Amino acid sequence: MIRKGTCYLVGGGPGDPGLVTLRAKELLEQADVVVYDSLVSEKILEWTKDSAELVYAGKRANKHVMKQADINALLIERCVEKKAVVRLKGGDPFIFGRGGEEAEALTQAGIAYEIVPGVTSGIAVPSYAGIPLTHREHSTSVTFVTGHECPKESGETDWASLARLGGTIVIYMGVKNLPNIATSLIHHGMDKTTPAAFIQWGCDSRQQSLLATLSQLPAKVKKAGLGAPAIIVIGHVAGLHDQIPWFSRKPLLGKKILLTRTRSQNSALRSLLEDQGARVVEMPLIKISSFQFPISQVDAYPWIVFTSPNAVNYFLTQLCRQEDLRKLGSCKFAVVGQATADELTKWHLKTDFIPSRFDALTLTTEWPDKTAGLKVLFPCGKKAGQAIENGLKEKGCSVERLEIYETSPDPKACEIWKQHQDADWILFCSSSAVESFVAMAPGPLPANLRTASIGPQTSTTLRHYHLLIHAEASEATLEALTKSLLV
């Protein structure tokens, strides 16, 4: 458990949230105050509780939001207030993170603290670039060094010894001084043809890397327009960069994708896209509000039809508040789409009918129950179409439409859209999302932006608003939608 009045110096890892330790995640979820650095992933900050105070204390080259003395004072002040404080640092707090200085300040102030190590970028970034820092045939040692100190000036780094040491050299924060570093190492005896790699935004969807000889690296980096944040690897192991490029082979690496679903629905789709290397930006276009509705006669309907996960969730949530799931003991369930069936499964309920194609027309065409006058309950959103009702009524069913939620535009989406119009893809999973987007951003889309649709109904709405469709899922599943981007 987290303790009040304690400061936790926590390593936030190199950028990929999957590389954050379990202890770090546990502390972030419970912290009262989080003081975080510039290279900490925004996705990690989403783990914090709503009441947590988030303080940005980022420090990039010549751009310090807070001085180190002010950071130390803030940590002490919040701990004295009996708050649980997490000092969240990129990578590891004790590897070029000034965590040692903060621990000393806390000790002098009599503040309790805990150190939570993190995966440092000097290890993780080369791994994501396919560079093993040690290799039996190439290197048996690794040296980590800061590139802040210019070799032309007096400093603590002994570049002459590094040039003679051999093994692998990993340089942090060396972008500005790279020309001087390369020149100094060669001057002190390192072979100018030694392989060297420059990796920008490592462990991130924006990762770019460049391999060259030591003498050529500065010019090639400048020509490619690469910069900070970056890790530089010098040594024979760097030459393995092109032989083990596992991360750079991800098909959506470097692609920015906008998700338009509600934030609560995004996690599964976000994971699928990030597994393919995409940089995902959540831009929820709609908010959902649920309605109160009578539940007492629900067992009078032999069939209940759901066309969205939202309908399943809101319907069953209210049922459990008023009654319990046993009220549905004799009911059968028909759904449109695998995602809707999966939502039923979360409630330990089995789908009795799912059409061969995930759309309303196919559901009504393939409807399995021929009972005359069959009573069917259709819980849905306020803006749901009439296709289900009309199709089942033509089959002789008596359909009861039960509107249990409504969607409305999310005002926060406009600001996100202004910041990310350089995205490569925008994904639509419902007609209501399309309508909200058009209302928010009328007019033509940016030339670089492509659209993807989860299925025919959403595509029809896109065409209605004269928006091009560059990809459509072969079936209405998140897996199929993700796959459609890879073609």
Spatial separation of the C-alpha atoms in residues 106 and 76, rounded to whole Å: 7
Instruction: Place 13 in a pLDDT band, splitting at 50, 70 and 90.
Output: very high
- Whether 155 shows a pLDDT value over 80: the answer reads no
What is the predicted pLDDT for the residue at 40?
Answer: 93
279 versus 295: the higher-pLDDT residue is 279
CA gap 66, 72 in Å, rounded? 10
Query: What sign does the dihedral 365-366-372-377 (CA atoms) show?
Result: negative
Query: 430 vs 208, which has greater pLDDT?
Result: 208
Active site residues: 37, 59, 173
In total, the chain counts a number of residues equal to 487
- Poorest-confidence range of 134-143, 319-328, 345-354, 375-384? 319-328
What pLDDT shows up at residue 64?
64
219-278 pLDDT, tens digit per residue, is 999 999 999 999 999 999 999 999 999 999 999 999 999 999 877 777 889 999 999 999
Q: Is the pLDDT of residue 295 over 90?
A: no
* Angstrom distance (rounded) from CA 200 to CA 105: 33
Q: What are phi and psi of 392, to 5 degrees?
A: -75, -30
Q: How far apart are CA 289 and CA 286, in angstroms?
A: 10
Q: Is the pLDDT of residue 1 over 90?
A: no
Q: CA-CA distance, 198 to 182, in Å (whole number)?
A: 12
Higher pLDDT, 175 or 476: 175
Q: Which of 109-123, 126-140, 310-324 has the lowest mean pLDDT?
A: 310-324
Count the Cβ atoms, other than its own, within 10 Å of residue 447. Answer: 6
Task: Tell me what pLDDT residue 34 has.
Answer: 98
Indicate the pLDDT class of residue 62, thresholds 50, 70 and 90: low
Two tokens at 438? Answer: 């058009």
Mean pLDDT is lowest, of 125-129, 148-152, 164-168, 307-311, for 148-152
Entry pTM: 0.79
Q: What is the pLDDT of residue 261?
A: 85
Report residue 262: phi and psi, to 5°: -65, 150
422 and 438 Cβ atoms separated by less than 8 Å: no
Q: How confident is the model at residue 343 (pLDDT cuts 50, 70, 90)?
A: very high
Mean pLDDT of 44-59: 93
Q: For each of the domains in the chain, give its residue range(s) and CATH number, in order of start.
A: 6-119 (3.40.1010.10), 123-240 (3.30.950.10), 256-285+410-484 (3.40.50.10090), 288-408 (3.40.50.10090)
pLDDT at 63: 63
Closest CA to 215 of 236, 188, 196: 196
Q: Indicate if the pLDDT at residue 393 is higher than 80.
A: yes
Indicate whether 291 pLDDT > 90.
no
Averaged pLDDT of the chain? 93
HSE (side-chain half, CA atoms, 13 Å) at 189: 8
Mean pLDDT of 17-29: 97
* DSSP structure class, residue 8: E
**What pLDDT was estimated at residue 442?**
85
> Are the C-beta atoms of residues 167 and 139 closer than 8 Å to each other?
yes
Report the largest interatomic distance among the alpha carbons of the chain, rounded to a whole angstrom: 92
What is the signed CA dihedral for 261, 267, 271, 274, rounded to 10 degrees? Answer: 50
Q: What is the pLDDT of residues 398-428, one digit of tens each?
A: 999 999 998 888 888 999 999 999 999 999 9
**Residue 464 pLDDT > 90:** yes
Question: What percent of the chain shows pLDDT beyond 90?
Answer: 78
Q: Place 355 in a pLDDT band, splitting at 50, 70 and 90.
A: very high
Buried b (16+ CB within 10 A) or exposed e, 374-387: bebbbbbbeebeeb
In the predicted model, what is the mean pLDDT of residues 390-395? 95
In sequence order, what are the beta bridge partners of 33? 53, 85
